Structure 1
Amino acid sequence: MKQTLAATALLFITQVASAATAQQVAPQSIIYVIGDGMGMEYITAYRHFVDDPATEEIEETLFDRYFVGTSATHPHGHELVTDSAAGATALSAAIKTYNGAIGVDIDKQPVETLLERAKTLGYSTAMVTTSQINHATPASFAAHIDSRQKYDEIADQYLDNRIAGKPWVDVLIGGGEKYFKREDRDLVAGFTALGYQYADSFALLDRIEAAPALALLADKGLPFAIDAPPANRLAVMTSKALALLPKNKPFFLLVEASEIDWCGHANDIACAMGEMHDAEQTLGVVSRYVSEHNNTVMVMTADHSTGGLSMGANGEYEWRASVVRGVKASAGELARELKEAGNTWPVKWQELTGITLSAEQQDTMAKQVKASVIANTEAEKNSAKTTLRSGILAAINTASATGWTTGGHTGGDVGVFAAGVNPEQFAGHQDNTAIALKLFTRLRPVQ
């Protein structure tokens, strides 16, 4: 793969400097966890979301325990707010690029990624994600294309791009079956012909016994953690990937908590906290593995933050985590449940949220539910669903004093978390490309 001259030069300098002081010369296994959209405000909100209200102190989360520094997130140029593709390419290949770019530089030329370097050096490789596995973040580690929107082409690359006759990624677990079993091409058949064991549901995941393996557990992204069991599905998938990877050689494992970002785009705080809980459960799985395997490093960060989340809104100096804890479904699922309940929607609302509505709020929501029930055309149904969902979110955000500034991304710094071999290398403030550069220095040829 071609790499930009600047990135190559900087990588060489970093490698030379690191080689002089490296405490480990043997190849290290690398576990790279990305919380998509997981800005610092999500870390803070989650700390209070899981806090035990019966104690005076605020309990430490795993994010707090492994926090070592921060990272800048801006893409190439002057936009300052990155998308997931440019952010992930920075984290995978140590270069700044344009929004929408998948593993390519600003000239749309392929750049080598950490996963590819690892595979070239003899490592096993794996990717686990709650989104479709050909979504922007994982794609930026294993594909090269000018636009993140080319989902079919990205999926094709996962099978067609080969090293020694085999795909670059040994274990793929996530969603996205619709992109791999298409009318024009059956990529699943292509993978199985190469010896990949395959599963298309959580019930069948346990039947996969060895790598190489492909598991596509949803048509697109997996259901939100708050909506469907298992609520710790990323932790389960990560445990499975670690179990499948060979024990006799190092590996590179990418794990993405994808749907923190999706909940942030929706401005859905309860949904976001459910995804954060799964991310923490996954961090627990990974940190336990690292503690039991000496020559392993774990780095976790985010590609950007999403939604402009704030604890406190509308002039209130308060954030009511107890309200958020009482919400039992995402706004989309709540809208579906209220529509199905019809005239008895207030009972279902109380059951699923515990929030007492004002007379004005109740009147507004009653009209929104009715409009959703009586809608006839597809356009009317979609419009009524969107309006009801917005009303639900407004009620939850008002009750909890949760604020949002956007339905898109924001440009603030994000956290960096590390454990295992020399986690202090990732301490302090750094650019997102520097994280990748530091991980490149950890890679060694496998003997």
Structure 2
Amino acid sequence: MKFYNLKKKATSLILSGSLLLTAAMPNAALAKDLVAQDKPLAKNIIVMISDGCGYNQLDTASMYQYGKTGGQVYEHFPVKYGMSTYSEGSYDPNLAWGSFDYVKSGATDSAAAATAMSTGVKTYDAAIGVGIDGTSLKHVAERAEELGKATGVVTSVQLSHATPAGFVAHNASRNDYSGIANEMIKDSATDVIMGAGNPWFDNNGQQITAPNTFKYVGGEATWQGLVDGTLEVADANGDGIADPWTLIQTKDEFIDLIDDKTPERVIGVPQVFTTLQQGRSGDDKAEPYAVPMNQNAPTLAEMTKGALNVLDNDSDGFFLMIEGGAIDWAGHANQSGRVIEEEIDFNKSVEAVVDWVKENSNWGETLLIVTGDHETGYLTGPGSDPTWEPLVNNNAGNLPGMQWNSGSHTNSLIPFFAKGDAARLFKSYADETDPVRGKYIDNIEIAKVIFEIMK
């Protein structure tokens, strides 16, 4: 049995009252129609972001996993488009395929991209949940909380890094990690936060005698308050009483969260400092899995399953953002083996979500979005520039032939996938066409659709 989080806010009371009213109406058919019109398009909304992943990052992982492209479960979703990601600039399809160098400029950063996907508003690079003029913007998660839904963010990098922060916090700079972490942990109504940044462990998952910086977890006082349970926090469920966090750190605690009883609020900080796996020592240019993995860190899929087990206790539904954050880091460092490791870890987390929908929900009430925030590294096939050469498939278990052309973000289109009855809403937004990728949406339209669902 689980502990059930019975969030009841004003909207729930209004809904109950409307149901009583329609039950008393003489025209039962009319009442049924009114209720159907008010039925939400999705009870649960899950956004999964492979940070730094473009089309070729996806294909290299599939070639390594399956010896072919098109092997990922989300590549068979009914809704498939490209997505533009620029922050303050633009994307020109003709220039993108007319000049090899065009996409090397005009790229977004992860903060602006996360803010765009979370609020529906373009902003400047480094901005977290604020507009170009610095005013706070409403996140889709905040709208979900207004409707009584549970909310959560999960990442394979630090919990206060740009992407999770961009779905919860409001800050002029992504670099204010401590301020962002404190807003997320102490002030927000978020029910689940999971990510790295543990100050007492290094990137190899080894405990250290003197702590690293506490900034990713809000400072030493905030961390100690989480550890001993004395931290003053927000009222997350609207009942007027503060809702303390349950802190988990060990891999076993993350595993236990998958099937065991769950507390109402969970903050999970694995025993690693910056990333679950990508930052571990050893030959960082080795082939995938040649360097032993950190054994004390949960996988992103395990974190995802635990988060779902907490959030699905809410009868009103939930919003969850899951990020494979270190795909971007491996792209910046041009680490072919580790970008594949990180993308596969992300892919397995998508499979975990799909399995959860099949076992615990359905595609009529759950919307799943799988995409990225931008491409990193300008990954192509070998011999590219000035033309684009294809990746070389060297069969499953072998590193594909690939070439990095940058150590930064690019302004390339990236893939977008969605499944669920509500996914059909994206069709009206896919009103631009790229000569290679076909129809595409813009990243702000993710939030626009989600807000439309949660009117």
Q: TM-score, normalised by structure 1?
A: 0.70
Superposition map of 1:159-198 within 5 A: 159-161=185-187, 167-178=188-199, 179-180=216-217, 182-186=219-223, 187-188=225-226, 189=229, 190=231, 194-198=243-247
Superposition map of 1:38-437 within 5 A: 38-52=53-67, 60-66=71-77, 68-77=80-89, 80-161=106-187, 167-178=188-199, 179-180=216-217, 182-186=219-223, 187-188=225-226, 189=229, 190=231, 194-208=243-257, 209-217=262-270, 218-224=272-278, 226=289, 227-229=293-295, 233-245=299-311, 246-292=313-359, 293-294=361-362, 295-313=365-383, 319-322=391-394, 325-326=397-398, 401-427=401-427, 428=430, 429-437=440-448
Write the deviation string for residues 320-339 of structure 1: whole angstroms up to 9, x where unpaired: 55499357xxxxxxxxxxxx
Shift of 1:99: 0.5
- 423-432 or 30-39: which moved more? 423-432
**Contact (CA 8 Å) 2:304, 2:352: kept in 1 or not?**
yes
Shift of 1:255: 0.5
Q: Does 1:33 align with 2:48?
A: yes
Per the alignment, in what secondary structure is the counterpart of residue 30 of structure 1? strand
Shift of 1:25: 3.2
Shift of 1:318: 7.0
Q: What letter matches 2:264 in structure 1?
A: A
Per the alignment, in what secondary structure is the counterpart of residue 325 of structure 1? coil
CA distance in 1, matches of 2:70, 2:49: 23
Q: What letter matches 1:269 in structure 2?
A: S
Shift of 1:248: 2.0
Shift of 1:286: 1.2
Q: What letter matches 2:191 in structure 1?
A: D
Instruction: Call closer, same or farther: CA 1:288–1:24 in 2, change over 3 Å.
Output: farther
- 184-193 or 69-78: which moved more? 184-193
CA distance in 2, matches of 1:253, 1:149: 23
Instruction: Call closer, same or farther: CA 1:58–1:410 in 2, change over 3 Å.
Output: closer
Instruction: Call closer, same or farther: CA 1:58–1:258 in 2, change over 3 Å.
Output: closer
Instruction: Call closer, same or farther: CA 1:322–1:426 in 2, change over 3 Å.
Output: same
Instruction: Call closer, same or farther: CA 1:232–1:176 in 2, change over 3 Å.
Output: closer
**Contact (CA 8 Å) 1:290, 1:419: kept in 2 or not?**
no
**Contact (CA 8 Å) 2:42, 2:422: kept in 1 or not?**
no
Aligned to 2:24: none
Per the alignment, in what secondary structure is the counterpart of residue 147 of structure 1? coil
Q: What letter matches 1:272 in structure 2?
A: V
**Contact (CA 8 Å) 2:154, 2:303: kept in 1 or not?**
yes
Aligned to 1:440: 451
Per the alignment, in what secondary structure is the counterpart of residue 323 of structure 2? strand
Instruction: Call closer, same or farther: CA 1:252–1:309 in 2, change over 3 Å.
Output: same
CA distance in 1, matches of 2:70, 2:196: 34
CA distance in 1, matches of 2:351, 2:377: 26
CA distance in 1, matches of 2:253, 2:63: 36
Q: TM-score, normalised by structure 2?
A: 0.69
**Contact (CA 8 Å) 1:199, 1:215: kept in 2 or not?**
yes
Write the deviation string for residues 392-425 of structure 1: whole angstroms up to 9, x where unpaired: xxxxxxxx54211111101011111111223232
CA distance in 2, matches of 1:27, 1:314: 43
Q: What letter matches 1:41 in structure 2?
A: N
**Contact (CA 8 Å) 1:290, 1:297: kept in 2 or not?**
no
- 140-149 or 401-410: which moved more? 401-410
- 314-323 or 132-141: which moved more? 314-323
**Contact (CA 8 Å) 1:84, 1:137: kept in 2 or not?**
yes
**Contact (CA 8 Å) 1:75, 1:97: kept in 2 or not?**
yes
Write the deviation string for residues 102-148 of structure 1: whole angstroms up to 9, x where unpaired: 00000111100001111121110111110111000010111111111
CA distance in 2, matches of 1:155, 1:318: 41
Q: What letter matches 1:304 in structure 2?
A: H
Count how many residue pairs are aligned between Structure 1 and Structure 2: 344
Q: What letter matches 1:110 in structure 2?
A: S
**Contact (CA 8 Å) 2:182, 2:218: kept in 1 or not?**
no
Q: Which runs of 5+ in 2 are unaligned?
A: 1-33, 91-104, 200-215, 234-241, 279-287, 431-439
Relative to total residues, which structure has the larger helix share, 1 or 2?
1
**Contact (CA 8 Å) 1:73, 1:82: kept in 2 or not?**
yes
CA distance in 2, matches of 1:310, 1:267: 12
Per the alignment, in what secondary structure is the counterpart of residue 247 of structure 2? strand
